[in-house]
Amino acid sequence: MTVTVSPLTPLVAHTRAQVLDLIRTPIAIISTTIFPTLAFLFFVLPQGAITDNAVASLSVVAQLGVFGVMSAYLFGYGIGVAEERANPWTTYLRTLPIGPFPMTVARFLTAALASFLSLLPLVLAVALLTKAPEAFTSGELSWARIPFALAMVLIAATPFLAMGLCIGYLLSSKAAVAVAQVLNFPLAFIGGLMLPPEMFPGWLDVVSLATPARAARDIVIWALTGEQMPGSTLPVLLGWTVALTALAVWANRRDEGRRFR
């Protein structure tokens, strides 16, 4: 009667369930999806100096793309996990014969899909409304950079996914909303996702380089435009990813659902 179940089967089942939930609640996708695009339309499009310059436009896309994905992870996963934790269905899932692995990985895959969807309208808007495509049509940059950069946005945003999970596992859903907001905008600012870090004073640039937001921005700009990234980018990104993932795994293990005092 004991049937051996491939460890992949629960992972596929959890991913499938979460993706079904996502696509059957379209409003949740729409709100995270249009945010970077709106930011582009309101703040970047009026600045002709940027939109007339193909490479500058691409850098803006990279920044906003990272900002969108970071927000999606921090909010979607920070608040989503905190709410899910208080949900008795999650308590039921914890009685099934699986560890934290399938749920956590399924959440990552679903987040990646949701973030990818948020990039599509942004890429479309930039392609239609700026001179960015000329960088590729003129042969200055290879077309292959576009899928490469898209993949890189998702990979570079991993620390924010882990950060979202930490928030979700360590805090109640109300506290998670506040903490996600407190983290998101300062991180976006210091990380150069709103203003280019070239405008920062020296000390702020040093702080900026140590943040995961800046590292994610620089690596995506490098992927898209070939602009050299600082030597600190990879170690900073890797360090934050490892540290926050370890914290997220620890938080998941100590989690016993919502506790009241």
Number of residues that bind other proteins (CB under 8 A): 32
CA distance 253 to 167: 14
Any contact of residue 30 with other proteins (CB under 8 A)? no
Least Å from the CB of residue 4 to other proteins: 7
Any contact of residue 231 with other proteins (CB under 8 A)? no
Contact present, 202 and 177 (Cβ < 8 Å): no
State which of residues 13, 105, 127, 247 lies at the interface with other proteins (CB under 8 A). 13
Which residues within the stretch 98-127 sit at the binding site for other proteins (CB under 8 A)? 98-99
Burial of 109 (0-12, 13-18, 19+ CB in 10 A): middle
CA 17 vs. chain centroid, Å, equals 21
Any contact of residue 29 with other proteins (CB under 8 A)? no
Quote the tokens at residue 36: 């970077």
The candidate with the shortest Cα–Cα distance to 93, out of 257, 228, 258, is 257
Compute the radius of gyration of the chain from its Cα atoms: 19
Contacts of 71 (CB under 8 A, 6+ apart): 32, 35, 184, 188
DSSP 131: S
Which residues within the stretch 57-96 sit at the binding site for other proteins (CB under 8 A)? 87-89, 91-92, 94-96
Any contact of residue 12 with other proteins (CB under 8 A)? yes
* Closer to other proteins by Cβ: residue 198 or 256: 256
State which of residues 46, 202, 231, 260 lies at the interface with other proteins (CB under 8 A). 260
* Closer to other proteins by Cβ: residue 92 or 203: 92
* Closer to other proteins by Cβ: residue 5 or 124: 5
Binding region for other proteins (CB under 8 A): 1-5, 9-10, 12-14, 16-17, 20-21, 24-25, 87-89, 91-92, 94-99, 256-257, 259-261
